[in-house]
Structure 1
Amino acid sequence: MYSLNLTADLQGVTNLRPTDTEETPFWYTFKVQCTSCRETHPKPVGVSRFDKNEMSGSRGEANFVWKCKNCKRESSASILAAPAAYEQSEPAKSKPIITFDCRGLEFIEFIPEGEWLAEGIDSNTKFTGIELNEGEWFDYDEKANDEVSIKDLKWEIKRA
């Protein structure tokens, strides 16, 4: 089991989370490595909690199924629950966003592609379409009459 943990400096916003519904699924993008031969897949891969793939030789399903080109072993990863919101705190603390059950593979790097949501701390203003791939985000909260931001993002994949 692995968790994707986030540490971020949230100013004026809270409840940061991926836009992740059946209608608009979030694709968690990772660099992946085989735990058997340690081969790293040459391209990033996307995993959605709404995507189901059959595993060969099994009756089970997983959100992501991968066959290593080097050792030919099949591996899988399943998302265990909906993503958790990252709440504003002082100082910023590392918190798990999502947890994966990985079999035969390891996610070695998270690539923050896709859209995120947040809410104004005092105003409850809904911020949508937040992109974090630049490592920071800035906007203005009209209701609170103040600038809001997400900075100093640190992504970490931890054994849970």
Structure 2
Amino acid sequence: MVQKCKLCSRENSIDILSQTIKPYNAEDSEKFKTIVEFECRGLEPVDFQPQAGFAAEGAESGTPFNDINLLEKDWNDYDEKTKESVGIYEVTHKFVKC
């Protein structure tokens, strides 16, 4: 993302460093884990609003769940292979400066 300052015309940017993207697995539950890094020049992220485009896999069955929408910060579905409810609940985040 590139944004131009209206006052000084300076270009500021935030880039996702694609080689740093990591999965968040069931064993990571209840703890913070770095899942992506950004290169920030002149901008600083202050909030994150998860939306559509997430994916998950059943921990025991390997069942794929695609196009997960986390706009409400919760998601649930049913895994036919294990005959159990599955879900992602209480999504939280934090930004850490490196």
Task: Note whether the superposition's TM-score is higher than 0.5.
Answer: yes
Q: Name the SS for the 1:94 alignment partner.
A: coil
Q: 1:69 aligns to what?
A: 6
Matches within 5 A, 1:50-65: 64-65=1-2
Q: 1:105 aligns to what?
A: 43
Residue identity over aligned pairs, in percent, reads 40
Q: TM-score, normalised by structure 2?
A: 0.88
After TM superposition, give the deviation of residue 120 of structure 1 in Å: 0.4
* Structure with the bigger percentage of helix: 2
1:79 aligns with 2:16: yes
After TM superposition, give the deviation of residue 71 of structure 1 in Å: 3.8
**For the residues of structure 2 that align with 1:121 and 1:158, how far apart are their CA atoms?**
28
After TM superposition, give the deviation of residue 159 of structure 1 in Å: 0.9
Q: Which has the higher contact order (CA 8 A, sep 6+)?
A: 1
Q: 2:76 aligns to what?
A: 138
Q: 1:114 aligns to what?
A: 52
After TM superposition, give the deviation of residue 81 of structure 1 in Å: 2.2
**For the residues of structure 2 that align with 1:105 and 1:69, how far apart are their CA atoms?**
14
Q: TM-score, normalised by structure 1?
A: 0.56
Structure 1's unaligned 5+ residue stretches are: 1-63
Structure 2's unaligned 5+ residue stretches are: none
Q: 1:110 to 1:68 in 2, by over 3 A?
A: same
Q: 1:137 to 1:78 in 2, by over 3 A?
A: same
Number of residue pairs matched? 97
Q: 1:31 aligns to what?
A: none
> RMSD of the TM alignment (CA)?
1.6
Q: 1:24 aligns to what?
A: none
Q: 1:108 to 1:122 in 2, by over 3 A?
A: same
**For the residues of structure 1 that align with 2:75 and 2:32, how far apart are their CA atoms?**
18
Q: 1:107 to 1:114 in 2, by over 3 A?
A: same
